[in-house]
Amino acid sequence: MSLRKSPAMTEEFLAAARGNGSKSSGPKTTAGKRRSSANSYRHGLYAAPDNETRKLLLRVGEDPDLLARLEREFIEAMQPANAMEAMIVADIAKLYRDKALLEKSVRAMRLEQAEVRAEWTPIDEEELEAVGYLGLASSIEAFQQGRRWLDRLLERVRKREWTTDDDLNRTLELLCGKQPPDHLEGWCLDMRTQFEALASLKPEVGQAEIDKKISHLKSEIREMRASVDDWEQEYREDKTQEVSQDLESRLVPGNRQWNTVLKQQARLDRMIASKVKLLNLVRKECRKKGRPRKQGISLKTNGKEATTGKYV
């Protein structure tokens, strides 16, 4: 019997319970459930080739057949003559797989650092005042603010607010600046002209003509927004490559992260050398004892057969 008293079912308690129950209880769509199914995914190094984790590996850009392919190639190259040698060769393949994943993680780390540095480029206030967010094109924040003010301009069109008031002037100034660059000067002038034209329309103008002008204005704003998306993508790619090359030259012994990578690479190299030495020692001992060799041991890796050779 529980000694804890149940809470009184007051209106406040019931309202809080209803509020908590109305909050998100997980994804509802098929795409959302598919994404959330990978929440517990870590690395999948030991995933069987025929289970759901294989699909997750493919989805995140990993190669689920890397280890099996390496094992087949090493077996064909080293030609183990018995089960002991085959196990050593399999260990060597796993160590080379670990080296490949380590190099991939280093590349990912550099790329992530480059993207972070590209996003945190500060905005030059003087340049912003001169050319506006659309003309700045030197910061992720500038592109984000440019889209924000374009959306605000589009909202004025939806509400049919044509008056050239301080809010409109401020919006256009933030977008284009006081001295718009050549590729924006015509667009900024056209925006102001179209707003003024819509504000001065006479009542006798037909609704069809008004709707046509509004549709044209919306189209131009949306086209500019799409251009901002393209400029941002180009900027991200160029800046990431530039910063990545800079990080490449900076990642030298002395940096703590890079020293950790170097230690791990050296550890894997030592383990590979040790395994190769052990393989040669086992072969040498087998030759000394004159044990009979099996003719072509067949080993299966990931469902595919790799046939070994025999000693000579």
Q: What is the domain extent for residue 148? A: 125-250
Q: Are residues 143 and 244 in the same domain?
A: yes
Output the pTM of the full model: 0.44
Query: Is residue 310, in this structure, part of any structural domain at all?
Result: yes
What is the count of structural domains for the chain? 2
- What is the C-alpha to C-alpha distance for residues 174 and 165, in angstroms, rounded to an integer? 14
| Domain match, 262 and 113 both | yes
State the pLDDT confidence band at 2, using cuts at 50, 70 and 90. low
pLDDT of amino acid 271: 92
For residue 28, tell me if it sits in a domain: no
Q: Which residue has the higher pLDDT, 238 or 192?
A: 192
Whether residue 224 is predicted with pLDDT greater than 70 in this model: the reply is yes
How distant is the alpha carbon of residue 195 from its chain centre? 40
Does 21 have pLDDT greater than 60? yes
| Same domain flag for 177 and 234 | yes
Q: Which of 35-44, 61-70, 98-107, 277-286 has the highest mean pLDDT?
A: 277-286
Residue 74 located in a structural domain:
yes
Kindly state whether residues 243 and 132 are assigned to the same domain.
yes
| Same-domain pairing of 197 and 302 | no
Residue 303 placed within a domain = yes
Residue 178 sits in the same domain as residue 272: no
Q: Are residues 157 and 137 in the same domain?
A: yes
pLDDT at 157 over 80: yes
On whether both 131 and 91 belong to a single domain, the answer is: no
Mean pLDDT (the chain, rounded): 76
Instruction: Examine the fold and report which residue of 250, 280, 300 is the final residue of a domain before the chain moves on.
Output: 250
Clarify whether residues 93 and 192 are in a common domain. no
In this predicted structure, what is the pLDDT of residue 188?
87
CA–CA gap between residue 298 and residue 279 (Å, rounded): 18
Report, as an integer, the average pLDDT of 148-162: 88
pLDDT the model gives residue 177: 85
pLDDT, position 254? 47
In a domain, 198, yes or no: yes
Q: Are residues 73 and 176 in the same domain?
A: no
Do 298 and 150 fall into the same domain? no
Looking at 250, 269, 288, the residue that finishes a domain is 250
What's the pLDDT at 39?
Answer: 66
Predicted pLDDT at 51: 62
* pLDDT in the model for residue 253: 45
Same domain, 304 and 210: no
Higher pLDDT, 295 or 236: 236
- Residue spans of beta strands (DSSP E) within the chain: 298-301, 304-307
Residue 218 located in a structural domain: yes
Domain boundary among 197, 227, 250: 250
Which of 26-40, 47-61, 95-109, 296-310 is modeled with the greatest confidence?
Answer: 95-109
**Distant-in-sequence contacts of 229-238, Cβ < 8 A, 24+ apart:** 229/143, 229/147, 231/137, 231/143, 232/140, 232/143, 235/118, 235/137, 235/138, 235/140, 235/143, 236/115, 236/118, 236/140
pLDDT interval class at 312 (50, 70, 90): very low
Express each pLDDT in 250-305 by its tens digit. 544 445 666 777 788 888 899 999 999 999 998 888 887 765 555 444 545 555 55
- Round to whole Å and give the CA distance between 209 and 192: 19
